[in-house]
Structure 1
Amino acid sequence: MIDEVQIAVNAGYASGVEIGDVLDVLRETNIPDPDAPNESLGTAFVRKGSMRIESVEEKFAIARVLQQSKGLLAPAEPMFTIVSSESAEGRGRVFIEAGDPVDIQIDS
């Protein structure tokens, strides 16, 4: 985490990442089996939030939280902010930590 709207990603132009690519930060979630207590149907990856790559180096890239517009005359604001602890997560705030899975949508 660089600040509340930027993170560094350990993939860069050597991996095919380019400025403008979108990445989804994911949360691994267990899906319990409703018919069998203490059993799991498996895991799913749920999107925490989306970010856009804004700078790229050989082995890493910097991504920024996507912006949402509040109207023609209002400035764009981040869709969410990044917080440094899980206890601070809540409405409009997302806890992102090293090791969270990401899906980078690389344009071909």
Structure 2
Amino acid sequence: MVELSARVAAVLDEFRIAIAAGEDEGVEVGDRVDLWRVVDIRDPETKEHLGRTRLEKLRLEIEDVQDRFSVARVYSPAFNFTNVMFSSRPEKSIKTRGAPRGDVEVEIGEEATIYLDGVDDASEDPADSEESGRGAAGR
């Protein structure tokens, strides 16, 4: 699996965003997308900046892919009892400003990470794949 860094291109509705990466970059329907909240960490006594960490704020799944962009929908587990019995709506929704509790604020230009399921990690040695029967001929 390869991680592709991309940006939010548009907020389409309360459950979908467009991402500025598409088929040209290897994105496929079903790929996972994470949006991040960056948190600065400071020493509580000295207030010295210690670093930053990223926390997942929203998980989405690619549902449509064009050449240069893709559309991702808020991820919702298929077999969540509540969703099955009462609604097919995801537990979280997207808002652009002043998100109420339970909603996630998403900005155009925000960083997204796409996990390309159909692409092997470039660090893998092709010879290893061929020997194990997973090379191009073995697929």
Return the TM-score normalized by structure 2: 0.69
RMSD of equivalent CA atoms: 1.5
- Write the deviation string for residues 43-92 of structure 1: whole angstroms up to 9, x where unpaired: 1111111000000011100000112421653333212111120x2x2421
* 2:92 is the counterpart of 1:80: yes
Name the % identity: 34
User: Which structure 1 segments of 5+ residues have no match?
Assistant: none
How does 1:1-108 map onto structure 2 within 5 Å?
1-37=11-47, 39-68=48-77, 69=80, 70=82, 72-85=84-97, 87=98, 89-107=99-117, 108=119
Counterparts of 1:51 and 1:71, CA distance in 2: 16
Counterparts of 2:32 and 2:73, CA distance in 1: 10
- Give the structure with the larger strand fraction: 1
Q: Is the radius of gyration larger for structure 1 or structure 2? A: 2
Q: Which amino acid aligns with 1:29?
A: V
Gap change, CA 1:71 and 1:79, over 3 Å in 2 = closer
- Give the structure with the larger helix fraction: 2
Q: How many residues get paired?
A: 105
Q: Which amino acid aligns with 1:55?
A: D
- Write the deviation string for residues 14-58 of structure 1: whole angstroms up to 9, x where unpaired: 111100001001111111122422x21111111111000000011
Q: Which amino acid aligns with 2:72?
A: A
User: Which structure 2 segments of 5+ residues have no match?
Assistant: 1-10, 120-139
Counterparts of 1:79 and 1:105, CA distance in 2: 22
Large movers: runs of 4+ above 4 Å: none
3-state SS of 2:24 partner: helix
Deviation of the 1:11 alpha carbon: 0.4
Return the TM-score normalized by structure 1: 0.87
3-state SS of 1:18 partner: coil
Counterparts of 1:76 and 1:13, CA distance in 2: 28
